[in-house]
Chain A
Amino acid sequence: MNNVTHKKRGLFDHLELDSRLLGMIAAFVILSVGFNIVTDGRFLTPRNIFNLTIQTVSVAIMASGMVFVIVARHIDLSVGALLATCSAIMAMMQTQILPDMFGLGLNHPATWILTIIVGLFAGTAIGAFHGWMVGYLTIPAFIVTLGGFLVWRNVAWYLTDGQTIGPLDSTFMMFGGVNGTLGTIWSTIIGGCAAVLAVYGLWNGRRAKVSHNFPVKPLWAECVLAIGVSTLIMGFVWILNSYTIPARKLKRMFEALGQEMPEGLVVGYGLPISVLILIGTAVVMTVVAKRTRFGRYIYATGGNPDAAELSGINTRALTVKIFALMGFLCALSAVVASARLANHSNDMGTLDELRVIAAAVIGGTALSGGIGTIYGAILGALIMQALQSGMAMVGVDAPFQNIVVGSVLVLAVLTDILYRKRTGSA
């Protein structure tokens, strides 16, 4: 073990950070700073960062599920269509079914929760159905979800007669982003708690290693990591807190409450609930991937399906669970996406399947299976969104925007292949 520690020299080696993650962060920083220079500082404003974050949420939530699907050597082409169906079901639920059949009007306190429960259930059930066809009927996932792509897109159409359904329940719309933020005080508290938890996690991991006499990184490296992580969390919260609610909107909010707005009052938005949902999803999915049998079996199956089978893993049931989870996350994304738009529209989630797959792949998920991380996929989604909205801000013509995004996807995968060849990892 000693010769191993001797070999490590550079700063990053001591920190034991994934070099691919560092590369992606570097790409994101260069991209952001570049756009910021070209737009004379309009890109890296609290307002734009706030918007960028809430625009990323929907795709990023689904991308975290797509990582599991791709790691297990499957694919899901139906996520955008499934999102549309879930969104349509939830829109009909809150505007027609609950008011007409149960007498619960829009904005009734039970409406939003019943709606979301039904939506999540529908998404999970449809996903499980896909998984059953893939796992037990052994139809390739490509075909099942290509069929699903057409079916669910048009089920959504049929359910709503192709109409835009709105306005939605006001509590429901709080999950969309700008209409539901925690305010500066709660955001700071939550940020603080998250930072403390992260540092505790690092400390706990080190303690477990020490108790088994495993090699650990130097204490200073651990401290640098702890400080870095907490700075990142608090910095993010600080930026979101600095985006203040426009004075006119604030005045209207006070008028709605029948109060006079105090002179010179400034209120920050803080963390949007939707971003909190994404962060929660990311944490849970990472724990599932790294610390549960379910996650371990997904990676083992992706690495060697025969070995997984011979180890007594029920790979068929596993497939059902993976797709059910994907369906659940599509429904969760549908909540965020329709709440953000404040209505359900017929073209909801169009092309999302491609954005989601691209986010996972840019984030380092290998289509050959067995390899992929949740944080990578979310960072991938963020990079794609930054690219798209940065180009829009610079004024790049729409066709060129898509040409660039498509090329970046291919280049990212090429970089990944070259990187893997160089480092010799599979």
Chain B
Amino acid sequence: MSTPLVEMRGISIAFGGVKAVDDVSVDLYPGEVVGLLGHNGAGKSTLIKILSGAYAKDSGEVLVNGQQVTIHNPRDARSHNIETIYQTLALADNLDAASNLFLGRELVTKSGLLDEAAMEAECRKIMGRLNPNFTKFSDPVSALSGGQRQSVAIARAVYFNAKILIMDEPTAALGPHETQMVAGLIQQLKEQGIGIFLIDHDVHAVMELCDRASVMKNGKLVGTVNISDVTDDDLLSMIILGKNPTQKTQ
């Protein structure tokens, strides 16, 4: 296989003596969706926040395209084309879609002022691709539905040439139709060669969308499996019992 997009090796982080993530290694290849599974508090969100720059790891190393990198803050992560869609979506509800899309990376005119018109035009372009039904460009995002908000958050991640995309329970707050839309989108991004870490605790969603799955329990990695080799029940027993089915069979 080619070089992985991301390799996280032996990552550990502790909060006040509690090891939230303990010596965990995961990797991600281009055009692949890797599911991160586990109970609440298993450490999957914490692990991924280290990659997105929200937390600083205590030990271990992160490699992007085979190169060791240091990620201290969200800005660093973005400079390595790592984009994150948080479970809370991290949108400023009082601002409109374009302002959120470009938050922290605004387009400016030659005089250094915000180029609102250009940003709205770009926003209309990308939303037209991701969610053609979207028309509320001048409303604050608080006036949008869950699916519309989700598509703004996704647009923000993919607009800036993300190579590595982290999605934290992207379908948790969505209805069936909107979930379908996100699933279609993930497929679309995969075809573009983007690697996706998908955090979820819904086993069925992971079985449907992912190529591989890494399961965590109590901050430790239980194991990483190919989705085609396992059943729903295998994944469930990994999550609940912390048993690795591949170890069992070998």
Contact = CB atoms under 8 A, between A and B. Distances in A.
Interface string A193-231: 000000000000000110110100000000000000000
Interface stretch (A59-67, A301-309, A354-362): A301-309
B121 A212 contact: yes
B99 A300 contact: yes
A300 B95 contact: yes
Nearest to B113: A291
A209 B94 contact: no
Interface of A: 1, 4, 208-209, 211-212, 214, 287, 290-293, 296, 299-304, 306-313, 370-371, 424-426
Contacts of A311: 74, 90, 103-105
A209 B106 contact: no
B54 interface: yes
Closest 6 CB pairs of A and B: A311-B104, A303-B92, A303-B94, A370-B94, A312-B75, A307-B90
A296 B90 contact: no
B48 to A, nearest CB: 13
Contacts of B140: 425-426
A303 B95 contact: yes
Contact of A4 (B89, B106, B117, B135): B135
Nearest to A426: B142
Given A1-B135, A4-B135, A310-B54, A300 B92 contact: yes
A310 B105 CA distance: 12
A312 B74 contact: yes
Nearest to A369: B94
Contact of A304 (B93, B108, B112, B117): B93
Contacts of B69: none
Nearest to B139: A425
Interface of B: 52, 54, 73-75, 78, 84, 86, 88-95, 99, 103-106, 108, 112-114, 116-118, 120-121, 135, 140, 142-143
A312 B79 CA distance: 11
8 contacts: A293-B114, A296-B114, A307-B92, A310-B54, A310-B74, A311-B105, A312-B104, A424-B143
A292 B52 CA distance: 27
A49 to B, nearest CB: 34
A307 B103 CA distance: 9
Nearest to A214: B120
B108 A293 contact: yes
Contact of A426 (B78, B94, B106, B112): B94
Contacts of A370: 92-94
Nearest to B99: A296
Contacts of B135: 1, 4
A1 B134 CA distance: 10
B74 A303 contact: no
A371 B94 contact: yes
Contacts of B114: 290-293, 296
B117 A208 contact: yes
A6 B116 CA distance: 25
A4 B99 CA distance: 21
| Interface core residue of B74, B95, B118, B140 (most chain A CB under 10 Å) | B95
Given A311-B74, A312-B104, A303 B90 contact: no
A299 B113 contact: no
Contacts of B94: 299, 302-303, 370-371, 426
Given A1-B135, A299-B92, 13 more contacts: A214-B117, A214-B120, A291-B113, A291-B114, A300-B95, A303-B93, A304-B93, A307-B90, A307-B91, A307-B92, A310-B52, A370-B93, A371-B94
A426 B91 CA distance: 14
B116 to A, nearest CB: 8
Contacts of B86: 310
Contact of B78 (A290, A306, A312): A312
Contact of A313 (B104, B108, B121): B104
Contacts of A208: 116-117
A304 B142 contact: no
Contact of A209 (B84, B93, B108, B117): B117
